Structures are given as structure tokens and as C-alpha cells.
Amino acid sequence: MHDFVAVEKLLGQRRQEESYFQKIGTEIPETALLAMQTELGDSVWLDTSRAKSDGECRVFLMSHETGTEEREWSSIAEFLEELLTEETPPEDED
């Protein structure tokens, strides 16, 4: 289960994540926008420094244990496709 961060909580959650990562020696760029948190404590960020004219941008997963990027997707669409595919249960074959 993954939880997208509610719009009204974005700034506060970003500050909390940024503070946590600073404590473990990782700087979060100002251009990174927090999008969601995983049930394991990792966080997913949008890299707005590389935003394209259509709004697409790179997406990356930060490990709460290592403070490093563990995964990346070239676009929001690619990330969402994988996320939704993983969470969609297979149909029963009768």
C-alpha cells in the first residue's frame, strides 16, 4: 500500500522528510517535490529540475535507510503504470 501525500500536507511532510534525510547525511534538492510515502518508510519524489514542457519529469524513490536513490522512472506516466499494475490483483480465470 502506498499513500500519496495530500495537497494540504505537502509542505509539512516535505519539511519532515527533508529534516530526516539531513540527519542521515542526505540533502534533498529544492527542486524535488514529495509525492508519496511507502509503507516501509521510503519516499517518492518528482524531480522538477528536469521537467519537460508537458509537465513530465523524472521520478525517484529515496531509501529511508540509506538516504540514496533506490529506483528511478523516466516519467510520471511510467511510475504510475508500474504502481497501478503492481496493485491491480489478477483476474480470476474460471
- Asked if the structure places residue 92 within a domain, the reply is no
CATH, residue 28: 3.40.1580.10
Task: Summarize pLDDT for 16-64 with one digit per residue, the tens.
Answer: 999 999 999 999 999 999 999 888 999 999 999 978 888 899 999 999 9
Q: How far apart are CA 71 and CA 28, in angstroms?
A: 15
- Asked if the structure places residue 93 within a domain, the reply is no
Direct distance between the N- and C-terminal alpha carbons of the chain, in angstroms, rounded to an integer: 27
pLDDT confidence of residue 91: 67
- Asked if the structure places residue 20 within a domain, the reply is yes
Total domains in the fold of the chain:
1
Tell me, yes or no, if the pTM score tops 0.85: no
Task: Summarize pLDDT for 67-85 with one digit per residue, the tens.
Answer: 999 999 999 999 999 988 8
Task: Print the domain residue range for 15.
Answer: 2-87
pLDDT confidence of residue 17: 94
pLDDT confidence of residue 20: 95
